[in-house]
Structure 1
Amino acid sequence: MKNLVRSCLALGFLLAAQAMAKAEEIYLQSVQSGKYVTIVGGTLAAAATDARSASRLDTVRLEGNRIAFRDSATGSFVRAGVGQGTFLAAGSPHIRGWETFEVMGVNGRDVALRSVQNGKFVRAGVGKRSHLAAVSERASGWETFRFVEVRAAQQNEAQAGGVDLGDIVGNYRITHIAADNGFLVQLGQQMAARARLGLDDRGRVSATIGCNSHSTRISVRNGRVQPDGQVMQTKMRCAGQGETAAEDGLRRALTTSRLIVREGRTVTFKAANGAELMKIRRM
């Protein structure tokens, strides 16, 4: 009997060790706001504007689609159900019901997290500081997240280094724009022939896909982009759904880009997680 108990304990430790070995260090990013999860007032919140100030989390893969998160800084596990608001916070020494989440795919690349303990989806944007809490009955915008690999984020930051506004001032053709599903799409020949973007030395941007004119202002320093968040545009009705969708993608790129990478004559606008939002090519 003792040998059986010892064998079970040994197997349990082996499985735990294997689970830990499969841990992958990530940043957790809110799809709705684009902000990264960090610790605010003791609980997790989607409040960091870039990965450098976000919390690193080890993903511990469990049975099936279940997962646990371990805070890399403290070695403790993330627990849902903290307080009456079922907020998420790091600090638990073990993995049990409140520390276990089900990962469910949303739109191919995004995920929703459901607490195994109470069956509710984790929602960002609870309260003024966008705290995370297991409170939602279904997954939609504020319940969707992205796993951003720490290594990939660091590589994107390294690639972005060195590009300042003065390096990319000029006139460009817009060649690619990300669709609403997040995938970069090359513009068709007719649309690409009319798509233009100009950037001056004061950060003023003027752009068009061939229908409406768009204008905004950005600052660029060391590969990092800071949009002013507002895009002015004309109100013409575009010829088809393709132009309308492309204009939506253009506005997303101009308002949510956080990184710029230049390779020869091509400049790529990227989201904070490295996702490509727009490519332009110097004329």
Structure 2
Amino acid sequence: MKRTVRNLLALTLVLAAGAAAKADEVLLQSAKSGLYVTVVNGTLAASAQDARQAVKLDTVRLEGNKIAFRDVRSGTYVRAGVGQGTMLATGSPHIRSWETFELDRTGRGEVALRSSQNGLYVRAGVGRGSHLAAVSERARDWETFRLVDVRNAGGHQDRPRPGQGNGNGNHNAGQGPDLSSLIGNYRITHVTADNGFLVPLGRELAGRARMSIEGRGNLSATAGCNSISARIAVENGRFQTRSQPMSTKMGCVIRGQSLVENRISQILTEARTVQRDGRIVTLRARNGAELLKLRRM
């Protein structure tokens, strides 16, 4: 009976999302720091000084004060249940309880967002990266946001802080590198885990993880155990795998090698864009989330 009720609720939310009137595109801005919400290492964070780096969101009005956010770039919804810290991230294909928020207006044109799943408010100051997570019992300074109309945000031309990057995946796709500029040998430094977080490889794995790109698009990679091969194409920052990644089937001795190698194969099929910043190369998903980081040797 409870399962039936939950299924009906989920279906109701999905139907409501499809029938609801869509508001203008908005940006989320932390009322405390004044920084815009963007994507950092696969999750949302209030870390962009420039509005052009912010994630553009459609607001989907549900019943009462409930709301959902749809990422304009990927067409997916914001979810509040990513990882143990209930981080927020785009990428959900549907609207259910984790994708539903209660919109509380706090005055001065500011709002607080409370997860319908766990009843906690979204905080914009979690960790060094100012990530968004549904972790607060009360709405205070770090739990308040502004919904900034995209049409009114064009005047913010601040330069991003050093090392901040272009978090929402708007990283000059269409003006990015071609295959010829990526030819070479690389160390694999970061790989996304199953929970969507981009994590650095441990010392032992990092010392063995390599990727090579050749002139005809032949790619090879390893974490020190099996050999992965594929053919890729890169044009103006757009990444495409032209052949299914193939891997040898050796048993790996070092813990985590096979997991990393399996993840590399998956990433090669998931990646849609590539960004080069000096010696650092980053593969990104369709929604702009970082999937894999390389450092030229």
TM-score by length of 2: 0.49
Q: Does 1:164 align with 2:208?
A: no
Query: Which residue is equivalent to 1:123?
Result: none
Q: Which runs of 5+ in 2 are unaligned?
A: 1-20, 28-55, 98-149, 154-165
Alpha-carbon deviation of 1:222? Answer: 0.2
Query: Which residue is equivalent to 1:197?
Result: 211
Q: Once the two structures are aligned, what percentage of the paired residues are identical?
A: 46
Over residues 127-151 of structure 1, what are the superposed CA-to-partner deviations in whole Å (9 max), with x where a residue is unaligned?
A: xxxxxxxxxxxxxxxxxxxxxxx99
Residues 269 and 279, structure 1, Cα contact 8 Å, conserved in 2: yes
Query: Which residue is equivalent to 1:36?
Result: none
Alpha-carbon deviation of 1:64? Answer: 4.6
Task: Return the letter of the residue paired with 1:59.
Answer: T
- Larger radius of gyration, structure 1 or 2? 1
Query: Which residue is equivalent to 2:284?
Result: 270
Greater Cα offset, 251-260 or 104-113: 104-113
Task: Return the letter of the residue paired with 2:59.
Answer: T
Distance 2:203 2:69 in 1: 47
Residues 224-239 of structure 1 mapped to structure 2, 5 A cutoff: 224-239=238-253
Alpha-carbon deviation of 1:156? Answer: 1.7
Query: Which residue is equivalent to 1:58?
Result: 58
Residues 209 and 243, structure 1, Cα contact 8 Å, conserved in 2: yes
Alpha-carbon deviation of 1:66? Answer: 3.7
**Cα–Cα, structure 1 residues 238 and 223, in superposed 2: closer, same or farther, change >3 Å?**
same
Residues 116-131 of structure 1 mapped to structure 2, 5 A cutoff: none
Query: Which residue is equivalent to 1:24?
Result: 26
Query: Which residue is equivalent to 2:234?
Result: 220
Greater Cα offset, 233-242 or 151-160: 151-160
Which secondary structure does the structure 1 equivalent of 2:95 belong to? Answer: strand
Which secondary structure does the structure 1 equivalent of 2:253 belong to? Answer: coil
Task: Return the letter of the residue paired with 1:192.
Answer: A
Over residues 163-202 of structure 1, what are the superposed CA-to-partner deviations in whole Å (9 max), with x where a residue is unaligned?
A: 1000010011111111111111101111111111100010
Alpha-carbon deviation of 1:243? Answer: 1.8
Q: Does 1:113 align with 2:95?
A: yes
Over residues 198-231 of structure 1, what are the superposed CA-to-partner deviations in whole Å (9 max), with x where a residue is unaligned?
A: 0001000010011111000100000000112511
Alpha-carbon deviation of 1:21? Answer: 6.9
Over residues 96-119 of structure 1, what are the superposed CA-to-partner deviations in whole Å (9 max), with x where a residue is unaligned?
A: xxxxxx98645343544149xxxx
Query: Which residue is equivalent to 1:261?
Result: 275
Which secondary structure does the structure 2 equivalent of 1:158 belong to? Answer: coil
Distance 1:104 1:274 in 2: 16
Query: Which residue is equivalent to 1:90?
Result: none
Over residues 48-90 of structure 1, what are the superposed CA-to-partner deviations in whole Å (9 max), with x where a residue is unaligned?
A: xxxxxxxx97314454544488x9xxxxxxxxxxxxxxxxxxx
Residues 22 and 60, structure 1, Cα contact 8 Å, conserved in 2: no
Query: Which residue is equivalent to 2:296?
Result: 282
Distance 1:176 1:162 in 2: 21
Greater Cα offset, 245-254 or 207-216: 245-254
**Cα–Cα, structure 1 residues 231 and 166, in superposed 2: closer, same or farther, change >3 Å?**
same
Alpha-carbon deviation of 1:248? Answer: 2.3
> Which structure has the highest helix share of the two?
1
Distance 1:188 1:278 in 2: 14
Distance 1:173 1:68 in 2: 37
Which secondary structure does the structure 1 equivalent of 2:172 belong to? Answer: helix
**Cα–Cα, structure 1 residues 189 and 165, in superposed 2: closer, same or farther, change >3 Å?**
same
Distance 1:224 1:58 in 2: 25
Distance 1:170 1:275 in 2: 24
Residues 274 and 282, structure 2, Cα contact 8 Å, conserved in 1: yes
Distance 1:279 1:103 in 2: 24
Over residues 251-282 of structure 1, what are the superposed CA-to-partner deviations in whole Å (9 max), with x where a residue is unaligned?
A: 12211111110011110011111111111111
Which structure ranks higher in relative contact order (CA pairs < 8 Å, sequence separation ≥ 6)? Answer: 2
Aligned residues: 171
Distance 1:244 1:170 in 2: 24
Task: Return the letter of the residue paired with 1:24.
Answer: V
C-alpha RMSD of the superposition = 3.6
Residues 59 and 67, structure 1, Cα contact 8 Å, conserved in 2: yes
